Amino acid sequence: MKPKLIVIFLLMVLLPLGLVMWLGLRVARYEQEAVRDRFSELLLQELFDVDRTIAQFMQQRESNLLGLIDVESPDAESLRKLTRSAPFVEQMFHLDATGRVLFPSPTDQLSQAEWDFLQRTKDILIGKNLIHQSQDRPIERSSQKVPSPPRPQPRQARQSVQQTPSPAESGSQPVRTHGWYTWYWGRGMQVLFWRQDALGNILGAELDSVRLLADVIGLLPNTDPTATYPLQGRIALCNALDEVVYQWGAYESGSDQQPVVAKPLQYPLNAWTLKYYLPPEQMAALGGFGTYLSLAGAVVAVGLVLAGLAVYFYRENTREMREAAQRITFVNQVSHELKTPLTNIRMYAELLEAGLPDEDEKVRRRLDVIVSESQRLSRLIGNILSFSRKQRHELALHPRRDVVDEVVEAVLEHFRPSLKAHGIDVTLDAQAGQQVQLDRDALEQILGNLFNNVEKYAASGGVLNITTRQRDGRTVVTVADRGPGIPHVQRERIFLPFHRISNKLTDGVAGTGIGLSIARDLARLHGGDLVVLPTNEGAVFELRIATPPAPEGEAP
């Protein structure tokens, strides 16, 4: 099998197979991403459920605080009593309509806890930021997916106070009479609740951050080591510094592992985040094995189909090649079988023609036909045998001592009766009379094909001009006619095997279409070429062959 066909068959199989694999991998990747997205939504829904539970707790705590601070004309003693009675309250406070701190007032005698409260809230209460920022605070912050927003980092000095800026809201917000306020002190988030009465006074309470965290953790599930979980995952609650304050689940995640999904809690605990961790191998297995198994099955199926098609085309190609080889072999064998009897017929016809009396013209004309047709059949068989040898890469020359002009005259002598019968006048300008090395049979076959073409296609011109020239070990033979000529676009195509000009020039003209192809191959094998020269009338073929001088004393 030829390498070109092997490459074609490989491309027939590998290119479609590669395209199928590429499309399959894209589809598998999209399917895997879709499965992971759906799975992430399920995990996120679980975080939403936990967040909803914590939000309900904060709503209940808000109701408790509204009832706790519903006090008319509060004084310092009553507020201290309320602080002691509510375990989840760190400190009560009271502001007038102008924002002046009424309790715990810096001018009064205060406990250490009350002084610490003033220190923590000096930028909120004394700086009057609570009144200004509380009116802009939204009722509830909408939940969002991962990644959670970056947390503000508190300074190391505990005396410094940082505040959480309120989120920007489009449009006007209704004036609120109560709500939450968060800010950062030291390493923790502080939360207070405030309520404003009709006169503009504010009464509120700071939540105990430790108790708040403990209450929130108390709402979360525990890890049961004996339970069987459908997913070997872990959920972590992280504070504003992204530190894990509580976690549950069977999976132990690494410190540098990223969560699959994360969700900040609703306001006012929006600085805390819920994160869901899963083992990497469990995420990698989502949609992977089944999808890639299906892809592998599809690729194998397509590969088998393509391989089957390739085998089928290979068998068809080799079958046609075998049949063609058988036909060529058959024609070659028949040609060989015909060559011997045809040579005898031609030889005896020529002998008979030479021995006839001159006055027996009728018989001589009939013998001329026999000789001419046997010569034409000999040329046809010679072309077929040469073409067969070329196909088998066995075409070779056997040069010996000879004269080009003698070969030309000998071939022309065979064609003279036929050319004369077609009304073609022949002129020969012979100037290649040196003894040179050449293959007489190859030159005779080349010239025979050229003269035969003039006889078949250029008889209407009535002229055949032949010139021979020799110089520097090369011989040039020009064969010109005045027939219809050869179109410019066909001047190279006529040398292709089995190609014939498809116009009125060839209509009704028989031939194999291999004569010029064999002539050019023999010319090139003889160290030269056969070309069509440009001309305004008829066709001009130029034969160039290498004819080195023959050594002295060599027998012809």
Domain at 346, CATH number: 1.10.287.130
Q: Are 47 and 144 within 8 A, CB to CB? A: no
User: Distance (Å, rounded) from C-alpha 547 to C-alpha 475?
Assistant: 6
Q: What residue spans of 110-248 are helical by DSSP H?
A: 112-120, 129-134, 209-219
Asked if residue 532 and residue 423 are part of one domain, the reply reads yes
Q: Is residue 462 part of a domain?
A: yes
Q: Are 148 and 263 within 8 A, CB to CB? A: yes
- Can you read off the two tokens belonging to residue 291? 């999808």
Asked if residue 334 and residue 262 are part of one domain, the reply reads no
Q: Last residue of a domain, which of 363, 395, 427?
A: 395
Q: Is residue 524 part of a domain?
A: yes
Query: Where in the sequence is the domain holding 506, given as residue range(s)?
Result: 398-556
Q: Is residue 189 part of a domain?
A: yes
Q: Is residue 172 part of a domain?
A: no
- Can you read off the two tokens belonging to residue 334? 């028949």
**Which residues, at least 6 apart from 225, have a Cβ–Cβ distance to it below 8 Å?**
250
For residue 427, count other CB atoms closer than 10 A to its CB.
10
- Tell me the CA end-to-end span of the chain in Å, nearest whole number: 44
User: Distance (Å, rounded) from C-alpha 194 to C-alpha 203?
Assistant: 6
User: Distance (Å, rounded) from C-alpha 526 to C-alpha 396?
Assistant: 9
Of the candidates 85, 69, 67, 66, which has an alpha carbon nearest to the alpha carbon of residue 203?
Answer: 69
Asked if residue 376 and residue 250 are part of one domain, the reply reads no
Q: Last residue of a domain, which of 395, 430, 449?
A: 395
Asked if residue 53 and residue 19 are part of one domain, the reply reads yes
Asked if residue 111 and residue 98 are part of one domain, the reply reads yes
The CATH code of the domain that includes 503 is 3.30.565.10
Q: Is residue 309 part of a domain?
A: no
User: Distance (Å, rounded) from C-alpha 201 to C-alpha 196?
Assistant: 5
- Can you read off the two tokens belonging to residue 89? 């309250």
Please name the amino acid found at residue 245.
Answer: V
Q: Would you say the pTM of this structure is higher than 0.75? A: no
Asked if residue 235 and residue 111 are part of one domain, the reply reads yes
**Per-residue confidence of the chain (556 residues) as pLDDT tens digits?**
567 767 776 777 778 777 877 877 777 777 778 878 888 898 999 999 999 999 999 999 999 999 998 888 889 999 999 999 999 999 999 998 888 889 998 888 899 999 999 998 888 876 666 655 555 444 333 333 333 333 433 333 333 333 334 444 445 556 778 999 998 888 788 999 999 988 889 999 999 999 999 999 999 988 776 655 556 788 999 998 899 999 998 888 777 888 999 999 999 999 999 999 988 877 666 655 556 666 677 777 777 777 777 777 777 767 766 665 666 665 555 555 565 666 667 676 767 767 666 656 677 667 666 766 676 666 666 666 666 666 666 677 888 999 999 999 988 988 888 888 889 999 999 999 999 999 888 898 899 889 988 988 888 889 999 999 999 999 999 999 999 988 888 888 888 877 766 544 445 455 567 788 888 988 998 999 999 999 988 999 999 999 999 876 555 5
User: Distance (Å, rounded) from C-alpha 230 to C-alpha 485?
Assistant: 90
User: Distance (Å, rounded) from C-alpha 295 to C-alpha 303?
Assistant: 12
User: Distance (Å, rounded) from C-alpha 395 to C-alpha 443?
Assistant: 14
Strands 273-277 and 234-238: antiparallel
User: Distance (Å, rounded) from C-alpha 364 to C-alpha 353?
Assistant: 6
Asked if residue 90 and residue 2 are part of one domain, the reply reads yes
For residue 513, count other CB atoms closer than 10 A to its CB.
14
Q: Are 534 and 476 within 8 A, CB to CB? A: no
Backbone φ and ψ for 485, nearest 5 degrees, come out as 85, 180
Q: Is residue 507 part of a domain?
A: yes
CA 9, distance to chain mean position in Å, is 20
User: Distance (Å, rounded) from C-alpha 323 to C-alpha 271?
Assistant: 85
Asked if residue 261 and residue 123 are part of one domain, the reply reads yes
Structural domains counted in the chain: 3
Q: Are 465 and 482 within 8 A, CB to CB? A: no
Asked if residue 357 and residue 208 are part of one domain, the reply reads no
User: Distance (Å, rounded) from C-alpha 344 to C-alpha 338?
Assistant: 10
Asked if residue 137 and residue 8 are part of one domain, the reply reads yes
Q: Are 462 and 481 within 8 A, CB to CB? A: no
Q: Last residue of a domain, which of 287, 302, 327?
A: 287
Torsion of CA 169, 174, 179, 184, to 10 degrees: 30
Asked if residue 382 and residue 407 are part of one domain, the reply reads no
- Can you read off the two tokens belonging to residue 101? 């701190």
**Predicted local confidence at residue 229, as pLDDT:** 53
Of the candidates 388, 286, 381, 341, which has an alpha carbon nearest to the alpha carbon of residue 39?
Answer: 286
User: Distance (Å, rounded) from C-alpha 256 to C-alpha 358?
Assistant: 119
Distances (CA, A) of 375 to 170, 350, 352, 382, 464: 107, 10, 15, 10, 19
Query: Rg for the chain (alpha carbons), in Å?
Result: 54
Q: Is residue 60 part of a domain?
A: yes
Asked if residue 424 and residue 380 are part of one domain, the reply reads no
